[in-house]
Amino acid sequence: MGFRAETLPEWKLWRTRLQAKLKQLTGYNRLLPAPLKPRITETVDCGDYLRQRVEIQTEPGLFMPFFVLVPHRRKPPYPPVIAVHGHSSAGKLSVVGLPFNDEHHRLIQAFNYAYGVEFVRQGCIVFCPDARGFGERREKGPVTLLGSSCGILNPAGYPLGLSLAGMWAWDLHRLIDYVQTRKDSRADKLACVGLSGGGLQTLYAAALDDRISCAVISGYFYGVKQALLDCVCCQCNYVPDLWKYADMGDLGALIAPRPFCIETGDQDELNGSSGLKNVRSQVNIVRRAYALLGAPKNLTHDIFNGQHKWNGVKSVPIVMKHFEESKARRKQ
């Protein structure tokens, strides 16, 4: 089911079929909705923004905690950004720059992890959730705050026809439901951004929901065989049978024609054995989709000098430009 469309009708048919297959294989369509029941449990003034801790129900009896960063400057409603964490992050704590010890502080600095703070200081309202298996949502057992329960949760879901990729996408889509209820958040446009495992979550969430109008994937976009199958990676990367149908570039092509920035460190060991060649093989698939849809300028591949980390040099301005352009169109 790789992307091979040459006309718009072929693209529409391909997109519908691959999205349906993706929901089936990930178990997304097996999950059950429930009332959100939002609850703000804490509010902290961080100087130039407020930090709220909020909980919502994403499935019956299952609650997701997240931080909301609300800017003091400008007037609401603010442009919304969902900023998703990756591995070794202590969940949402890294994205909001809230270290719990010296080791965590060094990690936040090394990976440039506090991109949630970066966006709130641009005037956005930022939503930073704990993914299942991380932060406050770790399974019971000897898993440290900088660790995760991926190795428990994903294989446990397989016999039920579930996967973490599907569960994470579902939770982010329920978070969007909540974002759209807030009067201090714009309802017309929404960006989703993430580093590493946060890029994984952004990829699946944006591929399956057009309400994500702009996406940034950092440190997670490459040919699956080299980067995920030829090496030992975390369980959360795997969806049974998925890679028989599509590669990562095909999932990225589902995001077209929306603004999409891919960040790649040229020294990132996760790129695979052939490095940037492996990454470009997938970006080129996405380029073909954007070209077919007449939106080649909406795709940006930012290759920067460095290791596995969030860059933000091009991606943050791309997100802000998207919000400004949509605001200008609304005024016309």
Instruction: Examine residue 110 and state whether it is found in any structural domain, yes or no.
Output: yes
Query: Contact, 114 vs 96, CB < 8 A?
Result: yes
Instruction: Examine residue 277 and state whether it is found in any structural domain, yes or no.
Output: yes
pLDDT band at 328 (very low <50, low <70, confident <90, very high): low
Whole-number pLDDT of residue 52? 98
Least reliable range by pLDDT among 44-58, 134-148, 167-181, 208-222: 134-148
Whole-number pLDDT of residue 141? 76
Convert the pLDDT of each residue in 10-54 to its tens digit: 999 999 999 999 999 999 999 999 999 999 999 999 999 999 999
Instruction: Examine residue 17 and state whether it is found in any structural domain, yes or no.
Output: yes
Instruction: Examine residue 205 and state whether it is found in any structural domain, yes or no.
Output: yes
Please, what is the average pLDDT of the chain?
Answer: 95
Whole-number pLDDT of residue 219? 96
CATH number at residue 191: 3.40.50.1820
pLDDT band at 74 (very low <50, low <70, confident <90, very high): confident
Whole-number pLDDT of residue 191? 98
Main-chain phi, psi angles of 174, to 5 degrees: -70, -35
HSE of 324 in the Cβ direction (CA atoms, 13 Å)? 8
pLDDT at 73 over 90: no
Residues 6+ apart with CB under 8 A from 184: 70, 76, 77, 78, 125
pLDDT at 62 over 90: yes
Residue 146 domain boundaries: 8-209+247-257+270-331
Instruction: Examine residue 229 and state whether it is found in any structural domain, yes or no.
Output: no
**H or E stretch including 54?**
strand 49-59
Whole-number pLDDT of residue 29? 97
Whole-number pLDDT of residue 93? 97
Rounded to an integer, the average pLDDT of 278-284 is 97
Convert the pLDDT of each residue in 144-170 to its tens digit: 889 899 989 999 999 999 999 999 999
Instruction: Examine residue 240 and state whether it is found in any structural domain, yes or no.
Output: no
pLDDT band at 331 (very low <50, low <70, confident <90, very high): low
Instruction: Examine residue 227 and state whether it is found in any structural domain, yes or no.
Output: no
Global pTM value: 0.96
Whole-number pLDDT of residue 95? 98
Residue 99 CA from chain centroid, whole number: 21
Query: Contact, 191 vs 169, CB < 8 A?
Result: no
Instruction: Examine residue 168 and state whether it is found in any structural domain, yes or no.
Output: yes
**From the DSSP assignment, how many helices (H) and strands (E) are in the chain?**
12, 9
Number of structural domains found in the chain: 1
Rounded to an integer, the average pLDDT of 241-264 is 97
